[in-house]
Structure 1
Amino acid sequence: MPRHEERRTLPFSAEELYAVVVDVDRYPEFLPWCLGARIFKRAPNQFWADLIIGFKMFREKFTSHVHLDPVKSIEVSYVDGPLKYLHNRWDFMPEPNGHCTIDFVVDFQFKSHLFEKLVGALFTEAVHHMVMAFVKRAEEIYGKRS
């Protein structure tokens, strides 16, 4: 049951960081091991999306339901794929200086213990690099800041 939590204060506004995280269709451009992403259904403050994750011989599709509280939080609920469960949440807290503190949490478990032994360590490593990938994307879009 790998779990990763991260809190960082970043030199971007909550609006800027929220826009980067919610732009799921662009994930393959910057998110390591994301080979494809597609939002297939939209509703007010929510959408359903498929992500294709791959590295080495591993390639799997994940379907998730994403709940949006605009510029405040993004909560991802697992629908289908190779996992027993997945919970992911981003919280965006504006700072007085225009920066933003983010709280990122992801918790998951594979359905198969064999599958977890084969790719669990790689999947866990990918999760640990996710926040930095989003920071680098924000720098590409909005410019590097300190």
Structure 2
Amino acid sequence: MVLNYLFRRKPEYRTRKLLCFSKEQMYEVVADIENYSSFLPFCTQSNIVDQNQSELKVKLEIGFPPIKEKYTSLVTMNKPNLILAKSCDGELFEYLETVWKFTSVPQGDPMTCIVDFSIKFKFKSNLYTHVASVFFGKLVKCLETAFINEAVRRYGRSSTCIFEMTSQD
């Protein structure tokens, strides 16, 4: 009964943070898909295979030895406000949707922004779904931290302010 419940779960994560980076800076970090493998844990390859002005088709390889999986995502970009990525090949995921929304702080410091981040997915494999549900919270926090750490590396913040905010639905 518990296993059936775990296999049916659809992991979803949503957060809102106030960061000491401009929305343009955070957008650039998240939009730098070709370099994901250099700063995102578990991403071993990231290649743009097709693109136009607002959409990219991206092949990603994720995993850790001995498990490695590849999938294709369609990434829609609205610079510097939004990045939406959806798995589009149907091989690894039943669905995968990641949303990054970047908002300037009204009447605030231009070097701060609000970042809304959400991810939801379901693997085709029940085993992968179960493993992901066990480690899901740690995994998404690890990914989120990797993007923030990359912003720190690029833009040289010695003391990064990060404030967890109430997520908007």
TM range (shorter): over 0.9
Determine the C-alpha separation between the residues in 1 that align with 2:138 and 2:73.
Answer: 20
Could you list the per-position Cα deviations for residues 88-145 of structure 1 after superposition, in whole angstroms to 9, with x for gaps in the alignment?
1000001121201000000000112133234553465322311110000001000024
Aligned to 2:97: 87
Structure with bigger strand share is 1
Aligned to 1:7: 16
| Paired residue type of 1:136 | N
Determine the C-alpha separation between the residues in 1 that align with 2:136 and 2:69.
Answer: 11
> 1:137 aligned to 150, 163, 169, which one?
150
Aligned to 2:69: 60
Aligned to 1:97: 109
Q: Is the 8 A contact 2:11 2:136 kept in 1?
A: no
Q: Structure 2: which 5+ residue stretches go unaligned?
A: 1-9, 161-169
Pairwise CA distance, 1:84:
0.7
- Look at both structures and tell me which one has the larger radius of gyration over its CA atoms: 2
- Does the residue aligned with 1:35 lie in a helix, a strand or coil? strand
Pairwise CA distance, 1:57:
2.5
Q: Is the 8 A contact 1:4 1:128 kept in 2?
A: no
With normalisation by structure 2, the TM-score equals 0.81
Q: Is the 8 A contact 1:58 1:119 kept in 2?
A: no
Which sits farther off after the overlay, 11-20 or 128-137? 128-137
Determine the C-alpha separation between the residues in 2 that align with 1:51 and 1:40.
Answer: 10
Could you list the per-position Cα deviations for residues 1-28 of structure 1 after superposition, in whole angstroms to 9, with x for gaps in the alignment?
1011111110000010000000001101
Determine the C-alpha separation between the residues in 1 that align with 2:131 and 2:140.
Answer: 16
- Does the residue aligned with 1:140 lie in a helix, a strand or coil? helix
Determine the C-alpha separation between the residues in 2 that align with 1:136 and 1:118.
Answer: 26
Q: Structure 1: which 5+ residue stretches go unaligned?
A: none
Distance 1:5 1:71, change over 3 A: same
What value does the CA root-mean-square deviation take over the aligned residues? 1.5
> 1:116 aligned to 105, 108, 129, which one?
129
- Does the residue aligned with 1:129 lie in a helix, a strand or coil? helix
> 1:44 aligned to 31, 39, 53, which one?
53
Count of residue correspondences:
146
- Does the residue aligned with 2:127 lie in a helix, a strand or coil? helix
Matched, 1:127 2:140: yes
Aligned to 2:166: none
| Paired residue type of 1:50 | K
Larger RCO (CA within 8 A; separation ≥ 6)? 2
Determine the C-alpha separation between the residues in 1 that align with 2:156 and 2:66.
Answer: 35
| Paired residue type of 2:76 | H
